Amino acid sequence: MDLQSLKIERTVRPAVRARASNPWPLRLLLLGGLAVLAWLFGPALLGFADRWRLPTVRSYLVTAPTPAAAAAVRGTAANGYVVAARRAALSSDVPGRIVELAVREGSVVKKGDVVARLFADEFRAALQRADADLLTQSRNVDRARAAHKASAAELEQALANQQNQEAQDAANQALLTFAELELRRLAELARTEVGSQRDADRARSEAEAASARRRASQAGMATAARAVDSARQRLAVAAQDIEVAEAQRQAAAATREQAQATLDKTDVRAPFDGIVVLKDAEVGEVVSPNVQGGSNARGAVCTMVDFDSLEVQANVPETTLSSVRLGAPADVFLDAYPDERYEGTVDRIWPTADRQKATVEVRVKFARRDAKLRPEMGVRIVFRAADAPDPAAAGGPAPTALLVPEDAVVTVDGVLGAFVLERDTVRFTPVTAGERKSGRIAVEAGLAANQRIVLAPPSSLKNGDRVRLQD
């Protein structure tokens, strides 16, 4: 057996030795590792470098201002609320239980409309009794007037009888006078024996009869006079009875009116045109005008306001009160609708101030009202000078200036402008500035909404510099 062929070769071939000593795979592996490290930690290293190298600035996002904010630059601004000059909590003058409630929140009512009804059976019964008493007293007046009419007729009859008696007495007096003259003439003739004694006796008899008739007529006259006096007294009594009956009827009528008024008080009515804004009680609850602590009664049925009397109540700080004048124009912006402007006029300035808040109450009257206005809505009021132009006088809304912090606008090389951020680079942009107020400036041209500008840029900042935003 040949053992020489089984011997292991210990020498390395040249090709294998050359391949084992090649350095490029290791270099490529090292470069790949460095690339991965640069990809992983490069931004952090650059950020760390920028943290020490680049200036740190604060930014401000330019936004389109609301009309209220834009108007505030032109005048003195204050916060307030929409209130109603005419507001009433409706209740009854008499305590009672609610049996009917005709309104709810938002109900529109007219003056005199019944809002609620209280239990009123006893008051209605009192009114019916008062009606009966009034009817009775009215009949008594009619009876007294009839008695007065009868007494007047009796007086007329007595006066006529008296006149008849007086005429009868005058006739009897005339007959008596004639009989006495005839008696004297016939007696003289009988004494001179010219006439007969019989004629003289007849004349004497007739004179005595005439005298008796005269006495009877005088007695009748006295009786007639007493009858007239009695009739006059009865007529006076009848007139007094009429006065008494009239007074009793008036008392009954007053009692009836009182009962009617008391019954009417159980109907709670609207004192003016308006809208119900709050329902304070429900059917079955008791309401009372004199509610005190510890009582279960309600003090009011509902609360209503006159929307035609809506106005603005503003608390103006004492430091800015000098810019508010009676009759001066004001712009009102609702918090709920900040883009809509309501024209107003300063109507009243309170004569006293609130020492706790250091404010003075001012009322602004609306030039127009619409359905958007509601009591207790928050508003922003801008008081303009009396000679300030109306923003809407030109026939449409004027271009709205952008409001930015005053320290964002700087002067560089004699040019007024602002540094606009474009990622991490600033560009200096010239601007046209307007009014300055309360730390803000109105930029009329040069900037646009949604741009981000630098606040209080350092004096060393230049156009095109890179910056780092403050965290």
For 213-278, give the DSSP string.
HHHHHHHHHHHHHHHHHHHHHHHHHHHHHHHHHHHHHHHHHHHHHHHHHHHHTTEEE-SSSEEEEE
pLDDT, position 395: 43
Residue 67 banded pLDDT, cuts 50, 70, 90: low
39 versus 425: the higher-pLDDT residue is 425
Residue 268 banded pLDDT, cuts 50, 70, 90: very high
Residue 16 has pLDDT above 80, yes or no: no
pLDDT, position 70: 55
Contact yes or no for 453/407 (Cβ under 8 A):
no
Average pLDDT over residues 343-358: 92
Residue 423 has pLDDT above 90, yes or no: no
pLDDT, position 131: 95
Residue 388 banded pLDDT, cuts 50, 70, 90: low
pLDDT, position 394: 43
Residue 153 banded pLDDT, cuts 50, 70, 90: very high
Distance, in Å, from the CA atom of 316 to the CA atom of 19, rounded to the nearest integer, reads 93
Residues paired with residue 269 on neighbouring β-strands, in sequence order: 114
Q: Can you give the pTM of this predicted structure?
A: 0.55
CA 72 centroid distance within chain: 29
82-86, 134-138, 182-186, 246-250: the lowest-pLDDT one: 182-186
pLDDT, position 12: 47
Signed CA dihedral, 229, 234, 239, 243: sign only: positive
Q: What are the φ/ψ torsions at residue 273 (nearest 5 degrees)?
A: -70, 135
Q: If you average pLDDT over every residue of the chain, what do you get?
A: 83
322 versus 34: the higher-pLDDT residue is 322
CB atoms within 10 A of CB 147: 18
Task: Tell me how far apart the terminal alpha carbons of the chain are, to the nearest angstrom.
Answer: 88
156-160, 182-186, 233-237, 406-410: the lowest-pLDDT one: 182-186
Residues paired with residue 82 on neighbouring β-strands, in sequence order: 312
Average pLDDT over residues 203-222: 86
Q: Angle at CA 287, nearest 5°, toward 284 and 290?
A: 160
Residue 213 has pLDDT above 60, yes or no: yes
pLDDT, position 387: 56
Contact yes or no for 341/67 (Cβ under 8 A):
yes
The token duo for 342 is: 């309501």
Residue 347 vs residues 194, 311, 327, 364: alpha-carbon distances, Å: 124, 9, 6, 5
Contact yes or no for 387/49 (Cβ under 8 A):
no
Residues paired with residue 311 on neighbouring β-strands, in sequence order: 83, 365
Most distant CA pair in the chain, distance = 250
Question: What CA dihedral angle connects 209, 211, 212 and 216, to 10 degrees?
Answer: 140
Q: Give per-residue pLDDT as tens, 88-123.
A: 999 888 888 999 999 999 899 999 999 999 999 999
Distance, in Å, from the CA atom of 164 to the CA atom of 228, rounded to the nearest integer, reads 13
- % pLDDT > 90, the chain: 34
The token duo for 278 is: 């709050």
Query: Using H for helix, E for strand and C for coil, what is the string for 386-425?
Result: CCCCCCCCCCCCCCCCEEEEHHHCEEECCEEEEEEEECCE
Q: Give per-residue pLDDT as tens, 141-151.
A: 999 999 999 99
Contact yes or no for 354/82 (Cβ under 8 A):
no
pLDDT, position 288: 84
Residue 446 banded pLDDT, cuts 50, 70, 90: confident
Distance, in Å, from the CA atom of 157 to the CA atom of 230, rounded to the nearest integer, reads 12
